[in-house]
Amino acid sequence: MSDETPTVDKTDANVPPSASGAASSLPQDEVDRLTDEIMNALKTVYDPEIPADIYELGLIYKIDIADDRAIKVDMTLTSPNCPAAQELPIMVENAVASVPGVGPVKVDVVWDPPWDPSRMSDEARLVLNMW
């Protein structure tokens, strides 16, 4: 990805992601549309063992939208021993690829920073009764 890649960064589940101010050849309204639709697509992906979507769980750390519409997603898992470790990245890739107008999608599982429950949104905490 180039330095001109807009980035949606969600390193804190309590802070809504936003496109960076990086220059892009894509119009800002298109970057905004892609960002919204990608986030909505990610909210359809659930860990099979947890009744909350991966976005609200705080498992999505970063979304890069390149000028050629290629998408790179950095995500994590709740644990390195997560039983869904093989299938969740594929589910994320398929969900993002379903968004009209996106190019190739690459999903990387990252472990830094490690996931912990503080990354969950209030919505996920409510669903999981973790107050």
pTM, rounded to two decimals? 0.81
| Total residues belonging to the chain | 131
Taking only the tens place, the pLDDT of each residue in 68-104 is 999 999 999 999 898 889 999 999 999 999 999 999 9
Tokens of 49: 């063992």
Taking only the tens place, the pLDDT of each residue in 31-75 is 999 999 999 999 999 988 889 999 999 999 999 999 999 999 999
pLDDT at 14: 34
Sign of CA dihedral 103, 40, 88, 77: positive
Domains by residue range for the chain, with CATH: 7-127 (3.30.300.130)
